[in-house]
Structure 1
Amino acid sequence: MPYYPGLFFSSMFTPRINKETNWDTIAAFIRENAFGMLVNVDDAGTPHATHIPVTLVEKKDGRFVLHGHIAKENPQWNWFTRGTALMVFTAPHAYISSSWYEKEKIPTWNYIAVHIHGAMRIMDEATLLQSLEVLMDHYEAPSACPVHISDITPKSLENNMKAIVGFEMDVQEVNARFKLSQNKNDHDYFSVITHLRARGDENSRRIAAEMEVRRPPAG
């Protein structure tokens, strides 16, 4: 099971049975669900949060960082370099009915959430431009007529870059909670999968698929 060296898994309350420490699994989840919530605090200790897309980047020395940007009008960037920030990633979640269990009558909720803590740095113009290019190319790729950053007029690009602040956030602490009925016996576990698939919505299907990967049916 691969681990990202140097990480200290902390913060969010995560029972051992739900804790995910496989960095490849965590990194894949971040890349698939890259619209996260950035949280930091101002000088008075008041928390600020912004929902933004970010890119997980591996540096030449093997470290990982997050690249992103926010509007310059958003005051949150004024505290980027003071203390550490938190980036929250979450996506699939599903209500688990107790009627799906053989005996137990307490319902619950299955979900996946990843918290990243790290120091922040404000990007220079060249790094910000490169970050925007990577972000744009990634999300334009599935389009029938993808747009490249070079298609934007120089003046428009310049004006827009002046209106944002780019950041690089170190991946220093990671806490990943994959709450997926790990505490249930096989009967209840596979009953949950069956009912989630029957429900049919995207969240339920994704939770069921993740559960199947973690405990394949016997035989």
Structure 2
Amino acid sequence: MHPNPAFRPAQDGVAALLVREIGFAAVFAGTPDGPRVAHAPVVLNDDGTTLQFHLARGNGLTRHLAGRTALAVVQGPDAYISANWYEEQAKAVPTWNYVAVEMEGTVRRLDESELVAQLDILSAHHEARVGENPPWTRDKMDAAYFGRLIGAIAGFEMRIAAWRPTLKLSQNKAERERLAAGVERTGHGALAHLMRQLGGDRETA
């Protein structure tokens, strides 16, 4: 991730909030076949110490993850920053603003009851977010069909040993509002919002 400490979130809990809000991660690990990545919905526990996810049994990572160290990356909005947006362009270069959270830790395989609990948490959380009333639950599924689906996936839990969040939101630029306006004009409203809300706590310019 970006080494500049200006791009580390100053507020406690921001990284965990982003993981919960985005809810989807790329999980990387080494395997005998080389490095592999899987993409999966994730569940961060209440105190931010574990991250759960599930993969298809046929995924290239599934049979190698248990007991290994893995890296999970949750990515937020990103956008190109044009040097034309600076008032003083003589010492400006184009760059890229982005939000990303890395979590590293050792992975264990979940048993079937833990996997089912993870799926219930996932569906309850996201059904509430989309506003379904009544929400979907697995009680609506045929039990035998659900059992076959469970047999086709594997659940995992990462014990998080290190967090490495980066919020590169032009905190080191005095013209942050001009840059946020430029980002907004190019259709990246979510990133512009974060630049305005989270980019001002460590201004160094």
Whether the TM-score (by the shorter chain) exceeds 0.5 is yes
Other structure's SS at 2:80 match: strand
Offset of residue 35 of structure 1: 1.3
| Aligned equivalent of 1:90 | 75
Cα separation, partners in 2 of 1:138 and 1:94, compared to 1, 3 Å: same
| Aligned equivalent of 2:196 | 212
1:146 partnered with 2:135: yes
Q: 2:94 aligns with which of 91, 103, 107?
A: 107
Offset of residue 82 of structure 1: 3.6
Offset of residue 172 of structure 1: 1.2
Offset of residue 102 of structure 1: 1.2
Q: TM-score, normalised by structure 1?
A: 0.83
Matches within 5 A, 1:56-205: 56-58=44-46, 62=47, 64-104=49-89, 105-141=92-128, 142=130, 143=132, 146-185=135-174, 188-199=175-186, 201=187, 204-205=188-189
| Aligned equivalent of 2:15 | 26
Other structure's SS at 1:158 match: helix
Offset of residue 25 of structure 1: 0.5
Given that 1:123 and 1:168 are in contact with CA atoms closer than 8 Å, whether structure 2 keeps it comes out as yes
Other structure's SS at 1:175 match: strand
Given that 1:21 and 1:176 are in contact with CA atoms closer than 8 Å, whether structure 2 keeps it comes out as no
Q: 1-side partners of 2:152 and 2:181: how far apart?
A: 49
Offset of residue 79 of structure 1: 1.5
Structure 2 unmatched ranges of 5 or more: none
Offset of residue 41 of structure 1: 0.8
| Aligned equivalent of 2:32 | 43
Q: 1-side partners of 2:41 and 2:12: how far apart?
A: 20
Query: Could you say what the CA RMSD is over the residues aligned between the two structures, in angstroms?
Result: 1.8
Cα separation, partners in 2 of 1:16 and 1:117, compared to 1, 3 Å: same
Cα separation, partners in 2 of 1:209 and 1:13, compared to 1, 3 Å: closer
Q: Residues 123-159 of structure 1: CA distance to partner in whole angstroms, max 9, x if unpaired?
A: 0111111111111112223235531011111101110
Given that 2:9 and 2:166 are in contact with CA atoms closer than 8 Å, whether structure 1 keeps it comes out as yes
The amino acid that maps onto 2:23 is: A
Give the paired residue count: 196
Given that 1:35 and 1:53 are in contact with CA atoms closer than 8 Å, whether structure 2 keeps it comes out as yes
Q: 2-side partners of 1:137 and 1:166: how far apart?
A: 17
Structure 1 unmatched ranges of 5 or more: 1-11
**Runs ≥4 residues deviating over 4 A:** none
| Aligned equivalent of 1:6 | none
Q: 1-side partners of 2:48 and 2:197: how far apart?
A: 28
Given that 1:38 and 1:87 are in contact with CA atoms closer than 8 Å, whether structure 2 keeps it comes out as yes
Offset of residue 33 of structure 1: 1.2
Cα separation, partners in 2 of 1:80 and 1:32, compared to 1, 3 Å: same
Given that 2:16 and 2:48 are in contact with CA atoms closer than 8 Å, whether structure 1 keeps it comes out as no
